[in-house]
Structure 1
Amino acid sequence: MTLQLNITPQAKASAQALLDYIDTSPSPWHVVATTAAMLKANGFKSLRENEPWQFKKNGRYFVVRDGASIIAFVLGKQPTAEAGFRMVGAHTDSPGLRIKPKAAQSNEGIAQLGVEVYGGPILATFTDRDLSLAGRVNVRNGNGFDTHLIQFDQSVVRLPNLAIHMNREVNDKGLVLNKQTGLPLIFGLSPNHEEAYALFTNKIAQQLNIAAKDILTWDLNVYDTQKGSFWGVDEDFIANSQLDNLASCHAALCALLDTHDQEATAICALFDHEEVGSESATGAGGSFMQDIIQRICSATDTNEEGRLRALANSFFISADMAHAFHPNHAGVYEPCHHVRVNQGPVIKTNVNQRYSTNADTAAHFIQLCERAGVPYQQYAHRTDLGCGSTIGPIIASRLGVASVDVGNAMWAMHSVRESAGVADHLSMTTVLTHHFKS
């Protein structure tokens, strides 16, 4: 077993940049806004799907769909049909809690917000945390509505635990929360539902400097206000929410920002709704990726045969996080597949196509790592446990392209507070940069 004991200042700076990216992105809509701002600062031009596109040589562009998905690309020097595409995909959403449309209620004078469970979070980790709300709010104007991003920096909601005196078996059987009755969040005091609703909407209105009566709808995400941090006796690890999968988003973004004068067109695609199956207009199962590729081909005078040739000459990396070996729970891991934090990107394989990796695409990624001077690991899930999935098989099947699933090792996936290794983020960014330039 190889241990990486020397974590460089460059690796720590890369990890800090990731933590900052997550801290400014508490919802998928904020992820896209943060990403778009970084792209614009690095010379990328925004395109709209409902407008005609014209490209400049070696142009750098991005497209946003419905505020929560974004695809950015850098045109290559070689003809599209000959060089194909070098693509990386990740997802902007994370499992957690979302506020219902008519959420505010009063229970014995306590104002609460009803929530829906989004994806598969570890619900118990949301208890006794300084939680708040972030997302988007649609506000009436004279001709329709405007969409505003909103984020409450301070803790405005909480899910207090039940005292052990009333739940004596919690340490033996674990904390079980009924999704309907156990998750409403406390946010204030109010004698009835109407006043609870007014208390909630007035808080939103005050934050946005609007009239409460003009609020139409919202998409609000529950997030943990605690900032990302380094931890460990030598600060070898990082902790934050949404490492799954904003770590992959940030690595792919940074790799694209560092891509210039390359042969093939480089594409970074960050999708919403992966945690709930990807079947939406903004998910990887929708048309977004195919539409962008078709329009790139059209704008570069690449005909249908050329588009098909381009896809045959392309390679897609699905970047999503991987399960690090946990010494307290060794029995849940497949023998000989104990991947570790700070030991480099993980190649994920599943013969039932939960991951898109095959022998050829794994070999391709291994050689990318070798050329980049980055260590790599290989992971297979324990056979008698259910395996998660990614956007890899979806994009591979929709486009018919060679694809591999990779990710950095992490602990506590789908917790409100996840952990990973400091060195791994720079390693992943480095190999993705080599991929875009290959």
Structure 2
Amino acid sequence: MTSAAPSVPSASSPAVPSAEDLAFARDLGAFVTASPSSFHAAAEAARRLEAAGFTALDDREEWSAADVRGRRFVVRDGAFIAWIAADGADAGTPWRIVGAHTDSPALKLKPNPRLGAEGFAQAGVEIYGGPLLNSWLDRDLRLAGRLVLRDGSVHLAATGPVARVAQLAVHLDRQVNSEGLKLDPQRHLQPILGLGEIDPVALLAEDAGVDAAEVVSWDVVTVDSQEPAVIGARGELFASARLDNLSSTHACLRALLDLADADATGPAGADADAEADADAPISLLVANDHEEVGSDTRSGAGGPFLEDVLVRMHAVLGGDDASRRRAFTRSMVLSCDAGHAVHPNYPERHDPVSRPCLGSGPLLKINAQQRYATDAVGAAEFARACEAADVPFQEFVSNNAMPCGSTIGPITATRLGMTTIDAGIALLSMHSARELCAVADPRRLSLAASAFWRP
């Protein structure tokens, strides 16, 4: 198996992004801005899906065969599943599944968040996932998430920049630059909200337009308030919060919407879905929540959400357990999550041969311990999809001395028994409050996902 050779930009051959790449990156920025929490990401995806003619289903209601054919989606908390199924889809139809996740490392608001010291109002937070803690210092932060009222109603809320974790001045920590920064997560990471007494929940309630006295619980995180931006000497870089993993969620959502648009405007016109080949697989996108904390939740990849939807779809299409298992073995998953580009200041931390760089296409992620689920069959399929999309790709493996992270890929493969591929775009500063990618790579991942859905 071979991949396209990385193309390293030079002064004589600048990596100037195309107009299509720039437009795609700016739309990614709009998606990130609209998605400060996983709940907002699911809501923004639902808004875009509905605008494209997808119909929402309620997973608490009974479904029929007519309900699951066509363009449909389901939202569960901060996760969503969307799909396109032809009218000819039946119990023998396999799935082509593309997966991502909607959450990112953050500081999460505690149940009793009102703090104060030395005249400052602060918010009590705990660590969500594995953030680079120092990256949250001296940044203007928003609070975002969902509020649940006494009557059980759920309301999304997101403040403007209201919080800041202030770093200790160098004059009071003379060794910080020689001995390194040491942060106690309990003492040093509580954000300042202002002066005097301030209730962070009241700030969120005001944004949501609800009575703060009626708020009984919340799932709220901090997020960098700085707008995403195209940067770099030639505009070839893209800086933003939550690229891990909204870069994948957005790219795959755009791929599904483009697929729906291509079907609708093809030779069969608006009836393309109904006339589609009955043998075509069901194109499905799942964006799970809680990947950064292990995925073992009702909306995470370790939970039942995806399997519930697949089982229910298959049952109303006339299948039984045996035919479902056969359909599962004929199905395939492309798990999309961000990976590491070689860092120019720390080149020794990376594999000496596989040297992925920004701007050279998506990563095919491989790990001998199966921390990524890619095997030879899946790698060949990803190569086919990238070739069909005219997209270069790069192989990623970890330095043997560096522990390897993981994704929803191995979890999904274990739950469903489907051949699974791990891929994603390359980042620098992964798990920082603000991450960095190449402008060209998100669109390339989207094109590869589209080709994966059309085997």
Does the pair score TM above 0.5?
yes
Match of 2:74 among 56, 60, 63: 63
**What's the offset of the Cα at 1:6?**
4.3
Q: Distance in 1 between matches of 2:92 and 2:395?
A: 31
Match of 1:145 among 124, 146, 152: 152
Q: Distance in 1 between matches of 2:174 and 2:95?
A: 57
Match of 1:2 among 4, 7, 10: 7
Q: Which range is displaced more, 167-176 or 155-164?
A: 167-176
Residue of structure 2 in register with 1:127 after alignment: 137
Give ranges in structure 1 of 5+ residues lacking alignment: none
Residue of structure 1 in register with 2:109 after alignment: 99
TM-score calculated relative to the size of structure 1: 0.94
TM-score calculated relative to the size of structure 2: 0.91
Q: Distance in 1 between matches of 2:205 and 2:343?
A: 45
Residue of structure 2 in register with 1:24 after alignment: 34
Q: Work out whether residues 343 and 375 of structure 1, in 8 Å CA contact, stay in contact via their aligned partners in 2.
A: yes
Cα displacement string for residues 392-412 of structure 1 (whole angstroms, at most 9, x for unaligned residues): 000001000000100111100
- 1:163 correspondence with 2:169: yes
Residue of structure 2 in register with 1:386 after alignment: 403
CA-atom RMSD in angstroms: 1.5
**What's the offset of the Cα at 1:212?**
2.5
- 1:39 correspondence with 2:44: no
Cα pair distance change 1:211/1:7, threshold 3 Å: closer
Cα pair distance change 1:226/1:265, threshold 3 Å: same
**Any idea what SS the aligned residue of 2:135 has?**
helix
Residue of structure 2 in register with 1:255 after alignment: 255
- 1:240 correspondence with 2:240: yes
**What's the offset of the Cα at 1:206?**
2.8
1:307 partner amino acid: R
**What's the offset of the Cα at 1:302?**
2.1
Q: Distance in 2 between matches of 1:353 and 1:270?
A: 21
2:365 partner amino acid: K
Q: Distance in 2 between matches of 1:42 and 1:79?
A: 21
Cα displacement string for residues 238-295 of structure 1 (whole angstroms, at most 9, x for unaligned residues): 0000000000001111111122346110110000110000011111000111100001
Residue of structure 2 in register with 1:283 after alignment: 300
Residue of structure 2 in register with 1:200 after alignment: 200
**Any idea what SS the aligned residue of 1:327 has?**
coil
Match of 1:297 among 305, 310, 314: 314
Q: Distance in 1 between matches of 2:69 and 2:212?
A: 47
Q: Distance in 2 between matches of 1:76 and 1:174?
A: 58
Cα pair distance change 1:179/1:294, threshold 3 Å: same
1:147 partner amino acid: V
Residue of structure 2 in register with 1:330 after alignment: 347
Q: Distance in 2 between matches of 1:236 and 1:212?
A: 44
Q: Distance in 1 between matches of 2:252 and 2:220?
A: 26
1:62 partner amino acid: F
Match of 1:264 among 251, 257, 281: 281
**Any idea what SS the aligned residue of 2:436 has?**
strand
Residue of structure 1 in register with 2:193 after alignment: 187
Residue of structure 2 in register with 1:376 after alignment: 393
Q: Distance in 2 between matches of 1:20 and 1:205?
A: 24
Residue of structure 2 in register with 1:173 after alignment: 179
1:437 partner amino acid: R
How many residues matched?
427
Q: Distance in 1 between matches of 2:17 and 2:85?
A: 34
Match of 1:414 among 431, 438, 442: 431
**Any idea what SS the aligned residue of 1:128 has?**
coil
**Any idea what SS the aligned residue of 2:200 has?**
helix
Cα displacement string for residues 109-142 of structure 1 (whole angstroms, at most 9, x for unaligned residues): 22111101000000101111111101111123xx
Cα displacement string for residues 219-255 of structure 1 (whole angstroms, at most 9, x for unaligned residues): 1110111000001011001000000000000111111
Q: Work out whether residues 341 and 356 of structure 2, in 8 Å CA contact, stay in contact via their aligned partners in 1.
A: yes
**Any idea what SS the aligned residue of 1:216 has?**
strand
Q: Work out whether residues 156 and 187 of structure 1, in 8 Å CA contact, stay in contact via their aligned partners in 2.
A: yes
Residue of structure 1 in register with 2:267 after alignment: none
Q: Work out whether residues 91 and 317 of structure 2, in 8 Å CA contact, stay in contact via their aligned partners in 1.
A: no
Cα displacement string for residues 73-122 of structure 1 (whole angstroms, at most 9, x for unaligned residues): 11136544544110011100000100101011221222111101000000
Residue of structure 2 in register with 1:84 after alignment: 94
**What's the offset of the Cα at 1:300?**
1.3
Cα pair distance change 1:145/1:77, threshold 3 Å: closer
Q: Distance in 1 between matches of 2:179 and 2:230?
A: 31
Q: Work out whether residues 80 and 264 of structure 1, in 8 Å CA contact, stay in contact via their aligned partners in 2.
A: no
- 1:227 correspondence with 2:227: yes
Q: Distance in 2 between matches of 1:203 and 1:78?
A: 50
Residue of structure 1 in register with 2:63 after alignment: 53
**Any idea what SS the aligned residue of 2:185 has?**
coil
- 1:352 correspondence with 2:369: yes
2:426 partner amino acid: A
Match of 1:343 among 337, 341, 360: 360
**Any idea what SS the aligned residue of 1:328 has?**
coil
Q: How does 1:392-411 map to 2 (within 5 A)?
A: 392-411=409-428
